[in-house]
Amino acid sequence: MNPFYTESSNLLLLCSHLRSSSGPPSRESVLLNKRVLYLKGEKLLTYLSDRPKKWPKKFPKIEDRLEATEVARQLLQHNLLLRAVKKEKGILQPVQSKDFEEDGLYVWVYEGDQTMSNVLTAVLILGFLACVCFPIWPSVLKVWVWYLSVTLLLGIIGICVVRGLVFIVFWILGRDFWILPNLFDESLGVAESFVPLYTFQKSSGSLIFRACILSLIAISIHWAISQPTEFDGMISAQRDFLDDLYSGNLLSDMSQQGKEDIDKPRMKSLDDLLQELDESDEEEAGESVIDHLMEEDEREGKGEEL
């Protein structure tokens, strides 16, 4: 084995490359109540021995799989990798072993440069504080947040609709064509959810079922063409809905005064409570005077009758 891979500093550089997007694929799991990345020993050896195109030029060439095994063993001995076994689904358990085997699972102990992680943590904290202080935001910022939220929501809905329509068209033709097939896979990370960009393979669906779906689509297209009034009305209703959505008319049914006073405290002040108490006393006094006058009128009416 090349002496380059026996020095700790060089092994750290190698781990930085292996942990990057150019390195061998890793998966997420849980080890000792902590989320970690792990990979199979076979994939690590294959990556080291095959030397991909993005292999750094400053790293000496690894001749064969045997030398790749020695390099991987060095990573274990320097505590940059940790041997583990599957305890249950999604859970790993550490194993005290410094021997590298192809069929083993290895957890990354080396976390690399934490600068980006610290920056993202700071951004997360600032974002949380900004959300907490949302009631005191200027009205302009609130409006732009609403526009951004609505646009993001419509974008997600649009992607789902396009993916579904494209899949149905190709499925009728006997092929399964998915755009961003891992987009909604919760077991994958954010970057992995967008890989691959698409998948294209032969479909195993029934020919009769495809014919039924094709008939329904043809009927829908014929209805849209033969009923222009209803179809145009539906399009117009969708356009009005989007206008109301972006204008904020669908937020609530409160009055304009209520929207303007939404940031004001709802608890009444002491002066307001005393004023309401005085008004209630005046109302009660007025009602008692009216009742007294009515009683006198009734008495005078009875006296005239006598």
Number of Cα atoms under 13 Å in the Cβ half of residue 28: 12
Scan for tokens 């094709």, then name that residue. 214
Q: CB under 8 Å to 10, separation ≥6 — which residues?
A: 4
Which pLDDT does position 125 carry in this prediction? Answer: 93
Same domain, 84 and 170: no
Q: What does pLDDT average to over the chain?
A: 78
* Each residue's pLDDT tens digit, 118-167: 888 899 999 888 888 888 888 888 888 888 888 888 888 889 899 988 88
Per-residue pLDDT, averaged over 65-88, amounts to 88
Q: Of 175, 210, 226, which marks where a domain is finished?
A: 226
- The answer to whether the beta carbons of residues 180 and 163 sit under 8 Å apart is yes
Question: How far is 104 from 82, CA to CA, in rounded Å?
Answer: 10
What's the structural domain count of the chain?
3
In tens, the pLDDT along 283-303 reads 666 666 566 667 766 666 655
User: Looking at residue 108, which CATH number applies to its domain?
Assistant: 1.10.10.10
User: Residue 26 belongs to what domain range?
Assistant: 3-113
Same domain? For 109 and 161 the reply is no
**Residue 13 placed within a domain:** yes
Whether residue 88 lies inside any domain: the answer is: yes
* Overall average pLDDT of the 83-109 stretch: 85
Q: Which residues pair with 157 in a beta bridge?
A: none
| 91-94 vs 34-40, strand pairing mode | unpaired
Residue 72 forms part of a structural domain: yes
**Within this chain, do residues 154 and 192 fall inside the same structural domain, yes or no?**
yes
Q: Where are the alpha helices (DSSP H) in the chain?
A: 8-19, 41-50, 65-77, 115-132, 139-172, 207-226, 228-247, 256-260, 270-305
User: Which amino acid type is present at position 219?
Assistant: I
219-269 residue pLDDT tens: 877 776 776 666 566 667 777 777 776 666 655 544 455 555 555 555 566
Give CA–CA dist 99/75, Å, rounded.
10
With H, G, I as helix, E, B as strand and everything else as coil, classify residue 26: coil
Of 175, 202, 226, the position where a domain reaches its end is: 226
Is residue 63 included in any domain, yes or no?
yes
Q: Determine the Cα angle at 127 with ends 121 and 128, to 5°.
A: 95
What is the pLDDT at residue 10? 86
Q: What's residue 253's pLDDT? A: 45
Q: Give whole-number Cα distances, 128 to 82, 124, 131, in Å.
A: 35, 6, 5
User: How many Å apart are CA 263 and CA 239, to the nearest integer?
Assistant: 31
Q: State residue 52's pLDDT score.
A: 72
Residue 257 lies in a domain: no
Query: Phi then psi for 250, rounded to 5 degrees?
Result: -90, 5
Residue 119 lies in a domain: no
**Residue 199 is assigned to a structural domain of this protein:** yes
For 23, phi then psi, to 5°, come to: -80, -175
Same domain, 78 and 148: no
The CA distance from 305 to 87, in Å, is 102
Report helix, strand or coil for 33.
coil
Closest of 167, 39, 50, 158 to residue 109, by C-alpha: 39
Instruction: Report the C-alpha gap between 142 and 277 in whole angstroms.
Output: 38
Residue 261 lies inside a defined structural domain of this protein: no
